[in-house]
Amino acid sequence: MSLCRHTARARWSALVAFLICLPAGAARAVDPVVSNVAFAQRTDGSRLVDVTYDLADADGDACAITLQASDDGGATWIMPCTRTWGDAGPAVAPGPGKALVWDFGYDNSGWEGKDYRVRVIASDAGVLHPQHSPANYAINDWITADFSAPSALEKYARAEIVVLTAHYLWGNAENEALRVLDGIRAVNPSCKIVGYVSAKNTALAWETPSERYPMTHLWWERTLPYWSYTTAGDTLQDWYGKVTLNILQPGCRDAIVSTIVDMQRASNNKFDGVFWDYFNPALWIAPGVTFEGEPDLDGDGISHWVDPNEIAAWRAAQVSLVCALQDSLGPDFLQIFNGQRAYADSAFAALGDGMFFEAFPELFFPRPYTMASAMSPSYSNNLFRLREWPRKTNGGPYQIYASTQLNYYYDYLGLLQIINLGNQFRIVALLTDGYTAWCPGGNWNYGWTNVDASLGPPLGPTVIEGINYSRDFKYGRVEMIMDVGYHPDPFDYTIFVNGRTVERFARPYHFP
């Protein structure tokens, strides 16, 4: 039990009035306006809170109404606040005298205080904005997204960090006009938005200029002199349709960095940083990509993989690339590293603001017990240790756990269910101060989490006793039991909010 938890019933401050107007997307006609918010707790012992407000929307849209609550006078808005009824939820018609009820006792058993506030958030794009905490949600979306839909900006804004492919935002006429990144930040000013850029290749298809995505041909043109070749003189490819660039050459690094810098400076869509895809300790070639001979970036006739000088030069070139971008865009420009180099090289990791764990936990962590390794204090490169390496000066580190896989199981009712990796990785994130990612091809496809959990800040480090992991938070607790230890169902877990189970997974059992 935390020291700041009390058992008496709540007392309430006398007045509150907050209204939140979500910003307009381009297609949004008129934003809703919430006014005259007031609330009072009933005195009948039910602990129910009545909230009244007026909702206006000039073009008559029904609005998604979310109630948020603060117990610190409005400094934070992460108090658990999930059970509401009346004029709350996905479709509330505008009008005066709206009334909703919040079951404070259900959400916050045992709490009392004096500095409570509530605010009513109205979205005429149909997006609910329930609290989540700690701020450990990410959206990882490398595909083209239609930001003209009014709901798009609001959906992305629910995350604290968003990774979007840079060349879809930089120079694309529609997205330039929409000022997509400003739109996301207007909803969530603390959201960090980073642009996915390649650290090592160019697409053959980018030879053809694209009117929609002008950065692609610029990248192709500028990096054209710096293709890599094999011992047989063949063009080196490391991915389907992509040519490996020879970053050993200073001109190649200049081309990459100057293109990023030029696009960032010219664009209306100014990213908070980049997501480099990716930095490995040595070249990796995707299975099925074929070429004659062996990779040979330094042209000495010796294969990359048995050429220590070449590998050393390649690693030094990665450092030069990162440092050159920092020299141009400054130390507060985020650099997040995908790839396995940062997982094992603390000095390299320290150049950036975080690591991306692609296909988590199946890359890097020793098989077969990949998740058990990632979470084990006895494994040298466990997540608790890796988190200490990146810079912490830009709000990070941003340790992002992601997988696009969909995995299924039959539950205790015999129904086919998806193992929700976003929810599973949230447990890892809560225990390691990382970020769970909702991503295309995977969790993002079936939306945001199906379980809203607002736990507040952690009260201390994760406690590990054998296979039992637990951590207490201001409003709740996470418990995890490392079961088989490997993907896709490595452990059982429970999230409690103020003593109430809000999510539990112990295959085949799940709640909800």
**How far is 15 from 228, CA to CA, in rounded Å?**
67
Residue 89 Cβ, how far from Ca ion at the closest point, in Å? 17
Select the span of 42-50, 210-218, 289-297, 361-369 touching Ca ion (CB under 5 A). Answer: 289-297
Tokens, residue 110: 């045992």
Q: Measured from the CB atom, is 61 or 452 closer to Ca ion?
A: 61
Omega of the bond prior to 397 within 30 degrees of 0, cis?
Answer: yes
Candidates 298, 362, 411, 483; binder of Ca ion (CB under 5 A) is 298
Residue 143 Cβ, how far from Ca ion at the closest point, in Å? 28
Select the span of 19-27, 158-166, 305-313, 331-339 touching Ca ion (CB under 5 A). Answer: 305-313
Number of helices followed by number of strands (H, E) in the chain: 13, 27
Alpha carbon of 53 to those of 4, 97, 126, 215, 453: distances in Å? 31, 6, 18, 47, 25
296 binds Ca ion (CB under 5 A): yes
DSSP state of 88: -
Residue 105 Cβ, how far from Ca ion at the closest point, in Å? 34
27 binds Ca ion (CB under 5 A): no
SS3 364: coil
Residue 129 Cβ, how far from Ca ion at the closest point, in Å? 16
Q: Measured from the CB atom, is 300 or 327 closer to Ca ion?
A: 300
Residue 232 Cβ, how far from Ca ion at the closest point, in Å? 13
Tokens, residue 271: 């990213």
Residue 145 Cβ, how far from Ca ion at the closest point, in Å? 22
- Single-letter code of the amino acid located at 371: M
Q: Measured from the CB atom, is 64 or 349 closer to Ca ion?
A: 64
Site string for Ca ion, 67-106 (x = CB under 5 A): ----------------------------------------
CB neighbours (10 Å) of residue 497? Answer: 22
Q: Counting beta carbons within 10 angstroms of the beta carbon of residue 268, is it exposed (0 to 12), middle (13 to 18) or buried (19 or more)?
A: middle
- Single-letter code of the amino acid located at 412: Y
Q: Counting beta carbons within 10 angstroms of the beta carbon of residue 109, is it exposed (0 to 12), middle (13 to 18) or buried (19 or more)?
A: middle
Residue 489 Cβ, how far from Ca ion at the closest point, in Å? 43
Select the span of 105-113, 123-131, 331-339, 387-395 touching Ca ion (CB under 5 A). Answer: 123-131
**How far is 59 from 31, CA to CA, in rounded Å?**
9
Tokens 């070139």 appear where? 317
307 binds Ca ion (CB under 5 A): yes
Q: Measured from the CB atom, is 304 or 387 closer to Ca ion?
A: 304
Q: Measured from the CB atom, is 306 or 416 closer to Ca ion?
A: 306
Tokens 């995350």 appear where? 159
Select the span of 124-132, 196-204, 271-279, 355-363 touching Ca ion (CB under 5 A). Answer: 124-132
154 binds Ca ion (CB under 5 A): no
Q: Is-contact 170 215, C-beta < 8 A?
A: yes
**How far is 185 from 83, CA to CA, in rounded Å?**
28
57 binds Ca ion (CB under 5 A): yes
Q: Measured from the CB atom, is 310 or 452 closer to Ca ion?
A: 310
59 binds Ca ion (CB under 5 A): yes
Main-chain dihedrals φ then ψ at residue 225, nearest 5 degrees: -70, -5
Q: Measured from the CB atom, is 246 or 335 closer to Ca ion?
A: 246
Tokens 């959206």 appear where? 139
Candidates 302, 319, 350, 418; binder of Ca ion (CB under 5 A) is 302
Candidates 71, 87, 107, 124; binder of Ca ion (CB under 5 A) is 124
In this structure, what is the dihedral angle of CA atoms 138, 140, 146, 147, given to the nearest 10 degrees?
40
Tell me whether strands 500-506 and 509-511 are parallel, antiparallel or unpaired: antiparallel
Candidates 51, 61, 157, 354; binder of Ca ion (CB under 5 A) is 61
**Site residues (CB under 5 A) for Ca ion?**
30, 57, 59, 61, 124, 296, 298, 300, 302, 307, 310
